[in-house]
Amino acid sequence: MTASYTRIPASSHIIWMEIRAPSISIL
């Protein structure tokens, strides 16, 4: 996971967090 995380640019990381956050909240 760290490898993929490192490859994600800062801007894409923010989008990834916004997509990921709701999923974590549901869980």
Quick: pLDDT tens for 1-27: 555 555 656 666 667 667 776 666 655
- Assess contact for 26 and 19: CB atoms under 8 A: no
State the DSSP code for 8: S
Per-residue pLDDT, 12:
67
* CA nearest neighbour of 4 among 19, 26, 12, 23: 12
pLDDT of residue 22: 67
Residue 8 near residue 16, CB atoms below 8 Å:
yes
Residue 25 to residue 27: CA distance in whole angstroms = 5
Report pLDDT for 8. 59
